[in-house]
A and B are shown apart, each in its own frame.
Chain A
């Protein structure tokens, strides 16, 4: 049996999903889009899996979230639906419920946050609501796990016994009623053939969703009859088609709410949120608080907790590497295999693995900020800035995180509301210079601009941001042209996050990252090792200048000539920067045969100040490390798209460096 879990955003859907399935979840994407699909087995019952649909307010064909939800419900043929609603915000939540009821699929309503309603002095007559809606209603508290087993029993019984919703008519006798029934009658045979509810299709057709005309294969005559019915209704009600249906649904909901809900005046949660918002979105306090929160998050992640954990982890990896190293030496294994294991796998995967603590710590803070409702406020205060480049306020946070590390930044685009915002943010985030590039900037600026080191560093960061803005403006008018998804967003009440949800999220992100570290990153490190170790005749090289990597470096250095650094060692360092940006500096010092400390003076022989600037610009902009690229691939859900992104990044980097080098050459 397949159960669809549907509900609005911010109604506790993820928490309920976690309570239903435990850690037994599969996370993937819906086909072709960057919308996350989570599914899992319901605990304690056999053969029941639940699919977590994206949070939506209505079944519409506009955002990709709405489309995948609609397609899953219509084509995925779920055996039952759990519709979770926020009991503290019942009116708007029931709007989706009415559309789901029309689907004529066994359904149970999970009335979430009932504990909050009660503590605010409100009550809901569950029996009455169930009667009015024609489906079982189960009060639950997903955070506390209350009512979840009752919910499971109910969904099992309605799906086993095929108990369909008893009410599908939300219209009082009148023009709207006539129209819906006429259309439903008109398309009944088509709907039966397509295996979908005629009633559902009828309202969607009246609302003007043309995809249903295709789905049901309506002919010209039927379309004209449909139009005629709708026009008649519009004439009789004085509303247009969409207004009429929205009004019908909300009028019905008001009837349900009046009969079954005793609201309290203003809930404690709302009152608390208003007080907190006075500071967090206040005219003078909003930005200082935001900067403070981001600073604290970064400081704790990159300086205190995350970096300490990372240090411990790399100590562990070093220890293990030494142990395996001496073990292999004692065993007397073939030196090439030895080098593969130690220099290739251990050092490559190890360097990427050391990101893991940073990612987990960063996500710990981010998920708290998200679950408490603060991220929605960040979107609220930042929207004005980002709208100019075609994004909405929500994209701000992933970009800020990009200054720390692109990997969690790109992973965090999951929380963005629209598919196109998400794609655009993924493409722009790598321009926020990540912290792994700092060693490169430090070495070069110390060697060539000792007096202006800080100036050069800040200049690079600003240059990255400026380029992101230009790229965004170009994308806005080309690839992402068209009407954007409107920014109409709910500001949820502040709530304490559920530890279980936070923990499960961290576990998933860690698992995700480890999976990539041992698949795509593992392979990439072996390839680089292979190129470093062998020459064209597959002999092990003694001098790194003979290796395959150096030969490739020679070829690439020809491409790099117009931008000022035609040295194969530099090219090779850039290639190894693909594994991790820190490796650029370490590779250069290996190839130049100096210590990292003396690298500066060795470099001054190879670069002029101008070509050094050009090199810095190139490293700022060219493709991010393999871990970030693997993340981009995962989130974009497209291999070809990712290759395109990498090529685009390299081309832009080359063009920018070329402009800097050539224009600089004219000036000096």
Chain B
């Protein structure tokens, strides 16, 4: 069977499965739509939350980032798992006891203010929108790589599927499809890792392979894998794999911001509203982190293995000797080789990018305007399918003066893994189905928060309080269709070249708005409406201002205290805490019924069913 056929088979079969599940579990009432009637088992909710949480970026890009930056990538590994500890011990048990449909409900009720509710709606919509665009883009990329279709077609197919089961099925439909998607993802992620681990280290547990010996050159020549990798990296002029290049303060702030941001992401929090009791929340959180850890503990192993493979198989060989996977991904336009020194061999080096990006060209050339015939682009641009005598595709890009001749897109490593390990075609198809599952499951969870923000928090609670149940579900469906249309549009025409930039927004925003405000709402009885609103505005203002200033307004990177925009959410959070505490001190304390409410969410009895 051909690769295409396998791909169609796997993707088609998984899509069919998701739609079948969604059809059988479709929601009729608001309670089913928002929280799946609050009757999901802790185990199933754990799987669903894991799938919800692990996005296309986690599945496709994370191992690639680990491979490219070694220790520095630990900020994502720790940040995106450590956040679950904060989430579990500080946020979700209490919000579950509070017993409403959305995170914004808590802000509105605890701070007795529709303005706080409105700020919550805006933040939730903004966080989820930035996030969902990346997911739609991810689906589009997988489809275009797989079937050679245009990205827009892939985005539309993905959007249609998500609308079908999230828009129609609500939380109930999403929950059980996410369980299925988690299963697809976890097999797709770990199976190739096991085989590569056996190939490189003769250890069938990838996590042990990572700390074991590299045995591919024979048993006598075996050396520790990480030592081998450090050697390979430094020989080529890269930073040593196990040492970082970020400053400790920056690393600290980014990790902390990712952790606190994780604990403030509304689409993850609401997943815990679907279980029966506070006790079930605690249990479900354990399952969730366990399911996530399976993937997150594998990612560093995949990163190290594929980095080793990449360098040993590609560096210093001619095009004919290069492995097949390299040629396959070159033909898809995600790998490029420019033989700068004309020696016929591929030289990979850490001295800098292969292609001239155009930034600063004028300064280096005495202020001259670059000639029109030079092509500046960070990514390869080819002369169609034309190939040079050495076998490689001919490039249009203006090349840089450094030794580096080899370009690869970081995101391809997970997708190329099965080919690198020489696994059968169906494994490649499984990995592709896993990529799509990761993107769809996250998109569905986000879409639910987006639609409930509008139908429940904005319409029902602020604009038209006398709406009935049926109208509310209908407006949720209309809202999810509209948001999906917007997300699909931006998935096809991404507003910024770097999706990663917008991810910094989402986490920074969650860390500086939701997390600290909810935390204070639970753990302090003194924080009042004025304090919470002032704190949120200060935190968000600082974070957004800083990110926008450095990402979009200036070219230089002279960060304040060396904290990059990725880590500024942590500072924003501290500012939020300080301002909220200060303002609350000088304004009247919250009314008695709010104090009683805080008192009641602290005890776990009678969590009951979620209500309006």
A is bound by B: no
Report which B residues bind A (CB closer than 8 A). none
